[in-house]
Structures are given as C-alpha cells and as structure tokens.
Amino acid sequence: MIVTRKEIRQIIRETVMLEGKSHRYSVGGLSDKNVLKTGQVKFSWGSYTGEHAGENYWIVDGERDLGPIQTKGDPYTYKKASGGKLFVVSAPESGRSSVGETFSKSGGSSKGGVRAADVKIASENPCTSLSKVDIIERLKPMMLEEIMNEYSPNRSYTHTVFARGGLLGPVSDELGYPSWNFSMMTLKDFIDNKDMIVDAYDEMYESGDSKANGKDTWEAMVYNPSYGLGLGIIVKNIMDGQASCPPG
C-alpha cells in the first residue's frame, strides 16, 4: 500500500489536533506522572472491568476531574453543555477522538466522535446528573412503601418493616400519641412531620414504651438499611443506575 504525501500530512494534522485536545488522565492532574488505565480509574459508581479496561485513559485539556455525569458500566464521563447537550470530558483510548466533543442525547456527537451506543448509555439514567437533594425531591410525592418496593427491589423485608412492631409499623392513638400508618405516608409528609414524630418517640422513650429516644428513632427510620426506609441506599441505587430514575 502506497501512502501519498497528502495522506501523511492529513494523518499528522489529525494527530496534532488530537494531542492538543486531551491528555493522559491521572488523579493529581498534569503534575502527577501516575497516569491510569481505564480499569484503574475510580468512577463514582466503582471501577470499569469491560473490554476497554486495559486501554490508556484520556481527559480533555484544562480539566483535572472526571465529568460529573457518570453512568454505571460506562467508561466515558460527561458534563452538561448548552442546548441540552452533553460534553465528553474523558474516555478510554478507543474513544479518545470523542473527548472534548458535544452531542445531543438523541444522536451522535457534533463531529461524529461518539458512538450511538455511548449516547444511549448516557441518556438511560438521567438521574446521574442530579444531586442527592434533587432525587429526594423527586421521591417526596411517593408513599414510603412504594419507594421501598420500586427503588430498592432486592430488599425482601418491606412488609416486616411496616408491620405492627416494625420500626415503621403503625402507631395507634390508644396511648395518646398521633396515629400513623407510615406505609401509606408520602416521603414529604414523613419529613414534614419529623418534629412531631421525634417528640412523640421522646415521650414514649421517657414512659418506657420505646427503647430509643426520638432522634435515634428518626435516624433509624430514615437511614437504617435493615429495619428502616434505608433512604441512603435508595438514593445511591438511583444515582448508580441500579434503580430507575423517579419522574421529575
């Protein structure tokens, strides 16, 4: 095969353009010489172990940190661009030409650098670009039991949690306390009633009807992954793409 001078110049020109657009990724930035392979990069969701794990990893010039939009299993990272598009911040060697490119979620990059499959991965979980507070806001209109069933499907103890005697079991007004059916309470109502719930359990604790005070009981109700709502795990499942993104 004979390569013409014109073709050589084109190859050199494209190589120079590529070299000036991205550099090898390292945790400490350009001053850090410990450049990483794709499989060594610590994404927000963990480490990538797919077919590109052994490739050098590249990040756009001028950036030190990975893009904030990351989807589990996707070795590319992104950030929002104008017009509802995404900007590719980093990628494995095989996708280096897409670093620094922008693309719409429904098509390819502005210069064809990003594959359709990559666009699909980035758009499958729109919650990757949301904060924990944003996700909780989306969950607020839903009932607690619905949230556990829908967004933490591997937890088989939902009914135990909400059964009589469970941490989120029904509280009757027989003892003079508010009557609550937590399973049918929305997350918003639950959070809005925090002070009332804490005060009630403080009274029950003082009278010997509860083993924990109000503050400890509230924390367990919200965050305990075995006996409570496990809100931290639920939000993490949503951000990692292990559970669907709640409607906005």
21-63: pLDDT as tens digits = 788 998 876 656 788 999 999 998 888 888 888 999 999 888 8
The string of pLDDT tens digits covering residues 79-109 is 888 777 788 899 998 888 888 888 765 444 4
% of residues, the chain, pLDDT over 70: 74
Boundary (domain end) residue, out of 59, 91, 124: 124
The pTM score is 0.51
Q: What angle do CA 203, 148, 226 make, to 5 degrees?
A: 60
Of 13-17, 20-24, 170-174, least confident by mean pLDDT is 13-17
Question: Residue 218 CA to chain centroid, in angstroms?
Answer: 25
Q: Beta partners for 80?
A: 86
Reference 14, options 81, 88, 96; nearest CA is 96
In a domain, 246, yes or no: no
Q: Binning pLDDT at 50, 70 and 90, where does residue 187 land?
A: very high
Q: Where among 99, 124, 149 does a domain terminate? A: 124
User: Is 178 within the bounds of a domain?
Assistant: yes
Q: How many domains does the chain have?
A: 2
Q: Does 244 fall in a domain?
A: no
Specify whether 47 is located in the same domain as 115: yes
What is the CB neighbour count within 10 angstroms for residue 71?
25
Report DSSP state, residue 4: P
- More confident position, 98 or 122: 98
Tokens of 43: 């994404």
The answer to whether residues 79 and 67 touch, using CB atoms and an 8 Å cutoff, is yes
The reply to whether 116 and 66 lie within a common domain is yes
* Residue in the structure block whose two tokens are 């929305």: 186
Together in a domain, 167 and 91:
no
153 and 229 fall within a common domain: yes
**For residue 178, what are the domain limits?**
132-239
